[in-house]
Amino acid sequence: MSRQFANTAACSLIDEEILKKAVFEQTLHDQAKSIAKTEGIHFDEVLKIRLEYKHIVKIDHLWDFTSLTRLDLNNNIIERMEGLDSLMNLTWLNLSFNRIEKMEGLESLQRLELLNLSNNRISVIENMDGLEKLSHFFIANNLLGQLDNVLYLRKFKNLFTLNLFGNPVSKENYTFFIAAYKGLNCTDLMSNELLKTKNEAAVKYHYIIEEMRHNELQKQQADDAEQSRKAELQSHTDAFVEFLNGAHLFNSMFNDDPEAETIQSVTGVDHLVRTYPLFLAFSSMQHQMVELCMKLFEIGLAEHKRRQTEVNSFFSGQTRAVTDHQQKASQILAKFEQQHQERIVELHQLSDPDKLKVNLSQYNDDISQLCNSLMSLEYQLANQLEDIIEKLDINISDMVSNFTETVQGIYPFSQSLEDIYNKNIREIADATLKKVATESPEDDMPEEVKMLFSDKDSVMDALVTGHDNHLLKINDRETQLVARVSAWKVSLIKELEEFQ
């Protein structure tokens, strides 16, 4: 009944005039009203505002209400939840008795504790993930028809009061399910019924709830494992050695090799790999390549730790220098302030113009001396910070240089392994080509392999191209690592100098 007036009343928009009138009438006492008339109303200081029964169709013009904690927009004709982004301090939001069909626009309301959306046209509970502090949620008399809407609310650990009365889902006796899962206070249950409901629900939904909790635990464990994996990968990336703790580089050499894919696409090549020493050469190269990568990976982590220790030491030294400067400046100012008070008293007591002139001159000298002392102190701090940054630059440069030399010393071994592997595979290919050319291959060699090795130029071209691709992969990874660590050093020193 409270919504029917909207069908005949004229629609209105939230504008500055409506907001000023509401704030003026609702939140200001008599003395404040007289001040507001003279100096204006500061929206950013308003804590509560009621805009109900005003035929409002759209939420707007609230961007200045950054301190607002309570907003009542009930009994209007609002169709969309919008314009709430700046209300980051809001704890109470009442949008009941409107025409809202979709829950949205709540991302910024992370402090919200009470949300009232009763008597709207909402069919799905959604887009509430950021409302971790929500304790009271009213969404009675809407169009919620699925039990999944109730299940969505399980994530809200602080949710204490819930009202879903008047929704199609309430026909499924959702209160039993909620009571079984967690101790929510369903306001459409009388308090004397609540305990009985909880006991009955615990029996009825025992197995369903246990399965849900088991699934949630598995999901949480999977999420935790993924977060841990991402954090570990980030630490490896920060050390510039991501994906070097395993066979990733080796696998990328062959997985991204189009010539190898062409050869391997022929049925029977697996037979060739297993039958001839190529398999041993391949396995040996893989094993040694992984060992080299692991060595570089461990060195990279250790070097990253050393660099971080040096940077942390710099910031500690910088903080000490600034703190010492502030203490000395405060002492100088305190001493001057004391002298200033004494000088003021002395000046007030003087009546002789000549003596007053002399004292004023001396006072001006004291002020000049104060300025010089503070400027000298500032100059000393600037020089001290320059020395600290220069020392950091030298130390970090040495670390980066040493790490770069280590990297450039390890990667050639990978290139040598590729050269050895290529030599072995060429020898095997030559032998196979001769056997196929002389029509004396092994009896169990597949026909596809014989056909592949009947064209010597194609085989040798594929091997040369594959070898070049493998070396390019190794060189690219080395170049990338060296370039990134050098760029990091330059960026670090530049940021520190700009900060100073």
Between 1-10, 222-231, 476-485, the lowest mean confidence (pLDDT) is in 1-10
**What pLDDT does 271 receive?**
47
* Residue 358 CA neighbour count, 13 Å, CB half: 6
- The pLDDT mean for the chain works out to 82
Between 13-22, 284-293, 431-440, the lowest mean confidence (pLDDT) is in 431-440
DSSP, res 56: B
Residues 6 or more apart whose CB falls under 8 angstroms from that of 265 comprise none
**What pLDDT does 65 receive?**
94
Residue 265 confidence (pLDDT) above 60: no
What totals of helices (H) and strands (E) does the chain contain, helices first? 13, 7
Three-state DSSP state, 71 = strand
Residue 493 confidence (pLDDT) above 50: yes
**Would you say 239 and 308 are in contact if contact means Cβ atoms under 8 Å apart?**
no
Q: Is 145 exposed, middle or buried (0-12, 13-18, 19+ CB in 10 A)?
A: middle
Residue 73 confidence (pLDDT) above 60: yes
Residue 402 confidence (pLDDT) above 80: yes
Separation CA 157–CA 230 (nearest Å): 26
Instruction: Name the architecture of domain 12-207.
Output: Alpha-Beta Horseshoe (3.80)
pTM of the entire structure? Answer: 0.61
Confidence of residue 127 (pLDDT cuts 50, 70, 90): very high
**What pLDDT does 6 receive?**
41
Specify whether the backbone of 136 is left (phi greater than 0), alpha (psi in -120 to 50) or beta.
beta
Separation CA 32–CA 10 (nearest Å): 32
Average pLDDT over residues 329-341: 89
**Would you say 301 and 403 are in contact if contact means Cβ atoms under 8 Å apart?**
no
From the CB of residue 481, how many other CB atoms can be counted at a distance below 10 Å?
22
| Tokens found for residue 487 | 């760029």
Residue 28 confidence (pLDDT) above 80: no
Average pLDDT over residues 416-432: 82
Separation CA 142–CA 190 (nearest Å): 21
Tell me the C-alpha to C-alpha distance, in Å, between residue 67 and each of 91, 128, 449: 11, 21, 77
Q: Which residues does residue 138 pair with via DSSP β-bridges, in sequence order?
A: 116, 163
Separation CA 181–CA 211 (nearest Å): 11
**What pLDDT does 476 receive?**
93
Q: Which residue has the higher pLDDT, 53 or 174?
A: 53
Specify whether the backbone of 105 is left (phi greater than 0), alpha (psi in -120 to 50) or beta.
left
Q: Which residue has the higher pLDDT, 217 or 119?
A: 119
Residue 56 confidence (pLDDT) above 90: yes
Nearest to 179 by CA among 157, 155, 205, 158: 205
**What pLDDT does 86 receive?**
94
Between 153-167, 285-299, 381-395, 471-485, the lowest mean confidence (pLDDT) is in 153-167
Separation CA 192–CA 194 (nearest Å): 6
Separation CA 264–CA 270 (nearest Å): 8
